[in-house]
Amino acid sequence: MAEIINGKAIASKINEKVKSEIDKISASGGMIKLASLMVGKSKSSEIYVKMQRKTAELVGIEFVTSVLDEGVTQDEIIEAIEKLNAEETVTAIIVQNPLPEGIRHDKIISKISPGKDAEGLHPYNLGKILRREADILPCTPGAIMKMLRLQNIDLYGKEVVIIGDSPIVGKPLSLMMMNEMATTTVCNIATSERGDLSRHARGAEIIVVAVGKAEMVRGDWVSPGTIVIDVGINKTDKGIVGDVCFEEVLEKAAALTPVPGGVGPVTVSILMRNVLRAYKDQNVTA
C-alpha cells in the first residue's frame, strides 16, 4: 500500500516559512502585493482565485484583483498588464486562466515584466531553467520538485516519465528533472495514439501525470515501488478526481499524491514563494 503524500501539510510548511520572512519584511515597513488579473467570469478561476487570496492573506501578501469584461481585446488586456507593470506598489502579477477564446495566453504572459512574473511563465524565466538559474519557478513544476525533495527522493539517474507536455507543467518540469540528472521521458498525445503510454509508465521509477483525463493511469501501468505524482484535476460524477485511478495505483505505488489535497495546495504555496522572491529581487540593496 502506497504512502499518501499529504500536499496540504507540505503547503503549510512552505506557507509558514514564507510567512516568517514576510513578517520580517513587514516589520521593517515593506509591503508585498500580488495583483490578480481575470478576464470574464469562470467558475474554476473563481475557485482558484479564492484559494490564492486565502493563502496570500495567511502569509501576509496583499491580494488585489481586477476583472476585465469577457469581450475585451488582447490589446486591452496587455494595456492592463502594462499598467500593473508600471505600478510601483505591485510586487507581482498573475493572469488567471482560462482566458476567453481567441486570446493567446502565451502572448499575454510575455507582456508581464519578468521581475513581476508570479507564475514563472514568462519566456525569460522559463529560459533561466535551462541555465539552472531560475529563481521564480513555474508553480506546479516547482511544487512537484519540492514534494519530491521533501520525500527525500534523489533524482540522480532515476527513470522519470512525465505524461503531458504542456508549457505550464510537463515541459518546464522536464527541464527541472534533467537539471537534477534524472533520465527523463516526456509522453504526449502522440505517445498515447501509438499505444505506448503504459509501456513507458511501467518502466518508470517516478511517474508525473498532467493530462486532464480522469483516472487514465491504471494500476497495471505502475510497477511496484513507483512514486506517482498526479497533477490532473477532473470534475466527474463522483466528484473531483485526478488523472490516476487512485484505488488501483494505491496498491502498487510506493507513494502517491491524492486529488484533491496533493499537488494543488503546494502549487499555491509556490506561487506565494515566487511573490516573496520577486519582492526580494526588487529590493536588493547594493
Binding site for ligand NAD (CB under 6 A): 140, 163-166, 168-170, 187-189, 191-192, 197, 210-213, 231-234, 263-264, 267
CB of 110 to ligand NAD, least distance (A): 17
Task: Return the axis-axis angle of helices 170-179 and 123-130, rounded to nearest 10°.
Answer: 30
What is the rounded distance in angstroms from the CA atom of residue 129 to the CA atom of residue 125?
7
Nearer to ligand NAD, 60 or 172 (CB): 172
What is the rounded distance in angstroms from the CA atom of residue 163 to the CA atom of residue 24?
41
What is the rounded distance in angstroms from the CA atom of residue 278 to the CA atom of residue 273?
9
What is the rounded distance in angstroms from the CA atom of residue 158 to the CA atom of residue 151?
14
What is the rounded distance in angstroms from the CA atom of residue 241 to the CA atom of residue 230?
10
Instruction: Look up residue 2 and give its DSSP letter.
Output: P
Nearer to ligand NAD, 202 or 280 (CB): 202
Nearer to ligand NAD, 121 or 211 (CB): 211
Q: Hey, what's the torsion of the CAs at 12, 15, 20, 26, to 10 degrees?
A: -140
What is the rounded distance in angstroms from the CA atom of residue 65 to the CA atom of residue 235?
26
What is the rounded distance in angstroms from the CA atom of residue 150 to the CA atom of residue 26?
28
* Phi, psi angles (nearest 5°) of residue 191: -60, -40
CB of 87 to ligand NAD, least distance (A): 27
CB of 106 to ligand NAD, least distance (A): 11
CB of 171 to ligand NAD, least distance (A): 8
Nearer to ligand NAD, 25 or 103 (CB): 103
Nearer to ligand NAD, 90 or 267 (CB): 267
Nearer to ligand NAD, 90 or 241 (CB): 241
Nearer to ligand NAD, 60 or 258 (CB): 258
CB of 65 to ligand NAD, least distance (A): 19
Pairing of strands 239-241, 234-236: antiparallel
Region label for 216, one of left (φ > 0), alpha (ψ between -120 and 50) or beta (otherwise): alpha
CB of 265 to ligand NAD, least distance (A): 8
Residue whose grid cell is 508581464: 112
- Residue partners of 282: CB distance under 8 A and separation at least 6: 91, 115
CB of 269 to ligand NAD, least distance (A): 11
Nearer to ligand NAD, 213 or 218 (CB): 213
CB 279 within 8 A of CB 25: yes
CB of 99 to ligand NAD, least distance (A): 13
